[in-house]
Structure 1
């Protein structure tokens, strides 16, 4: 694939992961400063890595939840909680992944991740 096809694949996967219209909404914030990081995300992260066949999207989502918790990245974690649901992860699986991070990443990181995930899951109607 050439870079145009890779970018188109990345944009398609982003919309599948985050919901229809996500990329178009993100495009509204594109400018001459942030265009390079948006291109990188579309081409490398989603057009190349997420497009690979080695593991399924649900597994990729679960890995992301753990990594973003460990790194303390709540804004990205929120996006990927939604993406994990879209990729077939259950609320119980998300809960277990975040609990697992408490052991290896620490209680403060996991506690924050639980707060972020609960907000996303509640807003999406996945919690009562």
Structure 2
């Protein structure tokens, strides 16, 4: 079961984040973080992201909102770049960040808007 869960997780991870990102991340794995990387691939990507009930776009928008609300700037930016794979739009991110302002606070939303503007501008410059 674990190997199947890992394989499912890696498939979803690649679909959401893109092969290039996942390849870079897996090349950086060391003995120190191997167990952790396998854990998140199995449990976050395989068990949660691959669950039925919500489509991948909705899950991605929820994840983006949570990363913004919790102030996880690096993960937030990574997931913004991954919107190319999931079809989450900049307008949807903007609306989600408006919710962050109300429910998590204006400073969290302010930081998230700043990061989103930078990331989306960079994405516009890329093919």
Same fold (TM over 0.5): yes
In angstroms, what is the RMSD of aligned CA positions? Answer: 1.4
Q: CA deviation at 1:22?
A: 2.2
Which blocks of at least 5 consecutive residues in structure 2 are unaligned? none
Give the aligned partner of residue 68 of structure 2: 69
Q: CA deviation at 1:84?
A: 3.2
Give the aligned partner of residue 116 of structure 2: 117
Give the aligned partner of residue 43 of structure 1: 42
Asked if residue 91 in structure 1 is aligned to residue 96 in structure 2, the reply is no
CA contact (8 A) 1:14 1:22 kept: no
Matches of 1:3 and 1:21, distance apart in 2 = 24
Matches of 1:60 and 1:84, distance apart in 2 = 11
Matches of 1:74 and 1:62, distance apart in 2 = 15
Give the aligned partner of residue 55 of structure 2: 56
Which blocks of at least 5 consecutive residues in structure 1 are unaligned? none
SS in 2 for 1:30: coil
CA contact (8 A) 1:74 1:113 kept: yes
Tell me the matched-pair count: 125
Matches of 2:54 and 2:76, distance apart in 1 = 20
* TM-score, normalised with respect to structure 2: 0.91
Matches of 2:101 and 2:93, distance apart in 1 = 13
